[in-house]
Structure 1
Amino acid sequence: MTNKERFIEIYKSKIHREGSDKLLEFLMSRNSDFFEAPASARFHGSYEGGLLEHSLNVYDCLQDYLLRERVQQTYQLSYSEESIAIVALLHDLCKINCYKKGTRNVKENGQWIQVPTYEYHDTLPYGHGEKSVYMISGYMRLKREEAFAIRYHMGFSGSEDARNVGAAFEMFPLAFALSTADMEATYFIEGKKQNL
């Protein structure tokens, strides 16, 4: 099964909210490069399909985090399969149509050569997490905790006021769980892949 097939299977089997079908239509349309886009210009997932792969990695990491005994018994965190799929699979929609193929010069063996790269060009500079919430909300309604989870999924590594991040994590534990899953996918799963 390809990553695209897996994404669509999870999406269709877990997300049934009104408008979700229209959002999937958009993701699959030629107006969106979600399935081909990189996850970043130079870091994790900086290759074709990186955004899709990252979204699936975050989904797997979030599921694993929420299955931990301490998370379930001590923290008593429990979320629907739909909420888990929504926040994990859609948290980085803000990156759709933002990366353009280009080249950059690098020195290799004393010679300058051009290598392929991605350049970031955002035509809707609405922020990161907030832009994803905005884009999703154009198709379907998010629960408050889902919206905060997506908005603050960058955690303390984003440019947000640290007090707001801490308050969001306290008030909406799904935000902390998603941020943890995002960091695990970025730095452990995808970081290792890039360094091989």
Structure 2
Amino acid sequence: MIDLDHKEVILSLLGFVNRPGIDRFINFLNESDFFQAPCSTKHHLAKPGGLAEHSLHVYNLLYEKINRFGLEVPRDTITICGLGHDLCKVNYYQEGGDPCSDAQYNYLSNLWTQKQSFFEESSKEKLASLLDEKNLFARSIPSAKATIIIDWLKNKPNNPLPELPVVFSVADKLPLGHGEKSVSILQDFIKLTDNEKLAIRWHMGAWDLSDYSGRWSFNNANKLTPLVALLTTADFEASNILEKEGE
């Protein structure tokens, strides 16, 4: 699913970036799953289109913070950091979700055997894609969907089956890390300034400290440019305040 409003705004903002390679970068986004991908598997904006929505939230917060503090930051930098900080999540998720545990699967299967005569045919039709040729739940059923079905079978089998969410799992085809990977992808298309590299690399703050560099590199990066703190807090505020309802 693509939110056409989000896509239109993002492409419009990128169209004003005056940097060699930006056209190739825009083509990359259009050909990737950037506009369809979730932002997480189970936390903030874990839904189709979540990554683009989150990127816009961060861009808007970053822009507001820079104006609030009267800082001189190029508009290109705001756009690249705000919209590009989470490029590490492009082509990173796959639809399906993590499978349930053996215990959860066995419990679901037992409930299904006991109660499938209770509910309407329309509910059976909704479950068809999750059943095998023997009319049993496939072992690969995602845990998130199994949880909803178990609750329904236990407590409300006479009611229609609730809508089952689209769920995702991680399928990282280029495991370069988080902020580092976003920097790497961007630099395949456009040249970044040092401040942009630092802000994007450290945008996760204390949640992305490696054993090798640890908090010292993060602290030093904050001393070199306020853009690090601005992007870190914009990302944190977006995921924990603006997008909290999606958790």
Report the equivalent of 1:94. 88
Q: Secondary structure at the match of 1:119?
A: strand
Q: Which runs of 5 or more residues in structure 1 are unaligned?
A: none
* Match of residue 141, structure 1, among 178, 181, 191: 191
**SS of structure 2 residue aligned to 1:100:** strand
Note if 1:3 corresponds to 2:6.
yes
| Structure 1 residue 108 displacement after superposition | 1.6
Q: How many angstroms apart in 1 are the aligned matches of 2:50 and 2:73?
A: 27
Contiguous gaps of at least 5 residues in structure 2: 97-141, 156-160
Residues 47, 166 of structure 2: 8 Å contact kept: no
Question: Any idea what the Cα deviations from partners look like across 1:104-128, whole Å, max 9, x if unmatched?
Answer: 2214256499754110110100000
Query: Aligned residue for 2:44?
Result: 44
| 1:25 Cα deviation after fit | 0.6
Q: Which one of the candidate residues 177, 182, 185 is aligned to 2:230?
A: 177
Confirm whether residue 194 of structure 1 aligns to residue 207 of structure 2.
no
Code of the aligned partner of 2:238: A
For residues 40 and 164 of structure 1, what CA distance do their matches in structure 2 show?
Answer: 26
The answer to whether the Cα contact below 8 Å between 2:179 and 2:201 also exists between their aligned partners in 1 is yes
In the alignment, does 2:198 pair up with 1:125?
Answer: no
| Structure 1 partner of 2:201 | 151
Distance verdict in 2 for CA 1:165–1:111, change over 3 Å: farther
* 1:48-127 alignment, distance < 5 Å: 48-68=48-68, 71-72=69-70, 77-102=71-96, 103-104=142-143, 105-106=146-147, 107-109=150-152, 111=154, 116-127=166-177
Question: Which residue, out of 20, 23, 28, partners 2:22?
Answer: 20
Percentage of matched positions with identical amino acids: 36
Distance 1:164-1:132 versus aligned 2 partners, 3 A rule: same
Shift of 1:79: 0.2
Deviations 1:14-66 (A, max 9, x none): x120001101011111xx10000000010011000000000000001001111
State how far apart, in whole Å, the 2-side matches of 1:133 and 1:53 are.
Answer: 20
- What SS does structure 2 have at the residue aligned with 1:82? helix
Q: Which has the higher strand share?
A: 1
Q: Which amino acid aligns with 2:20?
A: E
SS at match of 1:108: helix
The 1:169/1:111 distance shift into structure 2, 3 A limit, reads farther
SS of residue in 1 equivalent to 2:47: coil
Aligned twin of 2:121: none
Equivalent pairs counted in the alignment come to 185
More deviation in 150-159 or 49-58? 150-159
**Partner letter of residue 108 of structure 1?**
D
Contact persistence 2:92–2:171 (CA under 8 A): yes
